[in-house]
């Protein structure tokens, strides 16, 4: 029996439903997941009957970030020069997995920033497929959406998040930089700094107050409210939806988003190769990645409660 798809694809009426489907791992991000997500987005964009996409996550939460636990706990694994070629969907933990390239670098060796950038840029292009899709994308978040998981939420057009859910970018504290670089565009420069200078997360209710989410219903009403929104959007003619998305997206793209994303992706690699980044990785190798995260978050009063994986 084959493994279930990392992203489940279904169409009901005018709605294409894309569901992250690794619930036992918190729907953590792998190269395969990003590839399959892009394929599902393109499939929905090409289906004439589909007017709107609904992105969601299976299990206890939307997405716990990158799948870095195993790779962060291994020190000094070789990163091959051919890592940016090869198979399109390597298994997690292989030398072609972006998590391995990101995490497994011997500080005694030379770090190739362009190999790192090539892999992480590939993920950015996958996440941005949500923005570049000609049809509206609504992201429904429950439980948690942290670390790299926020890239998918922020690249979607509209975010509906459960009031009790958690969204944020804890790796701003050490070992990360937002590669899609959309926080300032979504919440404004000052509030983006408030989040990224601390690595703090928002509740769903706070996300709505800040304008990040369009709505934050009670947890038990999340499905109902998300369905009501996509069904209402789906009533519009498809050509009108495409025109409206194209129009509004020009405002975002005109703000040098691509240049900012290139910088954010480079900084993400740099953040993993600072003295503090190496110390974090060394601690993960010694005591486990979860323990390193717990110690990182302890000064902020949320140690042990983070669902963040990467």
- pLDDT tens digit string along 238-272? 999 999 999 999 999 999 999 999 999 999 999 99
pLDDT > 70: percent of the chain: 85
Pick from 136, 151, 45: which is nearest to 98 by CA?
Answer: 151
- Euclidean distance between CA atoms 190 and 112, whole angstroms: 33
pLDDT for residue 69:
77
Structure tokens at 104: 């497994």
Structure tokens at 126: 């996958």
CB 118 within 8 A of CB 32: no
Residues 6+ apart with CB under 8 A from 99: 30, 66, 67, 68, 70, 71, 92, 93, 310
CB 249 within 8 A of CB 155: no
H runs (alpha helix) in 137-256: 149-155, 183-187, 189-196, 204-209, 222-234, 238-253
- Euclidean distance between CA atoms 101 and 31, whole angstroms: 11
Per-residue pLDDT band at 166 (split at 50, 70, 90):
very high
pLDDT for residue 149 is more than 50? yes
Q: Strand ranges (DSSP E) for the chain?
A: 7-12, 15-20, 52-57, 137-141, 144-146, 158-161, 166-168, 201-203
- Euclidean distance between CA atoms 282 and 32, whole angstroms: 27
pLDDT for residue 147 is more than 90? yes
pLDDT for residue 305:
47
97 phi-psi bin (left φ>0, alpha ψ -120 to 50, beta other): beta
CATH topology of domain 7-300: 2-enoyl-CoA Hydratase; Chain A, domain 1 (3.90.226)
Domains in the chain: boundaries: 7-300
pTM: 0.89
Q: Quickly count: other Cβ atoms within 10 Å of residue 69's Cβ.
A: 20
pLDDT for residue 68:
81
Per-residue pLDDT band at 86 (split at 50, 70, 90):
very low
pLDDT for residue 100 is more than 60? no
User: What's the whole-number mean pLDDT along residues 34-63?
Assistant: 98
Pick from 67, 213, 212: which is nearest to 147 by CA?
Answer: 67
Structure tokens at 189: 């420069």
């Amino acid at each position: 029996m084959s493994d279930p798809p990392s992203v489940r694809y279904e169409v009901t009426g005018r709605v294409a439903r894309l569901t992250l489907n690794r619930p036992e791992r918190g729907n953590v991000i792998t190269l395969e997941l990003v590839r399959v997500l892009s394929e599902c987005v393109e499939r929905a964009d090409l289906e004439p009957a589909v007017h709107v996409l609904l992105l969601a996550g299976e299990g206890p939460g939307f997405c716990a970030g990158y799948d870095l636990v195993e790779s962060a706990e291994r020190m000094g694994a070789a990163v091959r020069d051919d890592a940016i070629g090869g198979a399109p969907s390597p298994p997690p933990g292989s030398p072609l997995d972006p998590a391995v390239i990101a995490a497994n670098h011997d500080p005694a060796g030379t770090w190739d920033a362009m190999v790192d950038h090539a892999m992480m840029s590939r993920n950015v292009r996958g996440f941005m497929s949500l923005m570049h899709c000609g049809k509206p994308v609504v992201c429904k978040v429950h439980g948690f959406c942290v670390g790299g998981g926020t890239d998918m939420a922020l690249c979607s057009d509209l975010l509906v998040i459960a009031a009790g859910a958690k969204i944020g970018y804890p790796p701003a504290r050490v070992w990360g930089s937002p590669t899609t670089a959309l926080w300032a565009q979504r919440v404004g420069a000052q509030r983006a700094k408030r989040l990224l200078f601390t690595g703090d997360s928002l509740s769903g209710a706070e996300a709505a107050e800040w304008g990040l989410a369009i709505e934050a219903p009670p947890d038990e009403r999340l499905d109902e409210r998300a369905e009501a929104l996509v069904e209402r959007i789906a009533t519009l003619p498809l050509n009108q939806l495409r025109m409206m998305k194209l129009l509004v997206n020009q405002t975002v793209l005109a703000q040098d988003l691509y240049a900012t994303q290139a910088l954010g992706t480079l900084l993400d690699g740099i953040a993993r190769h600072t003295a503090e980044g190496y110390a974090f990785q060394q601690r993960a190798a010694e005591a486990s990645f979860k323990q390193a995260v717990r110690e990182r978050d302890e000064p902020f009063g949320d140690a042990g409660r983070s669902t963040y994986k990467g």
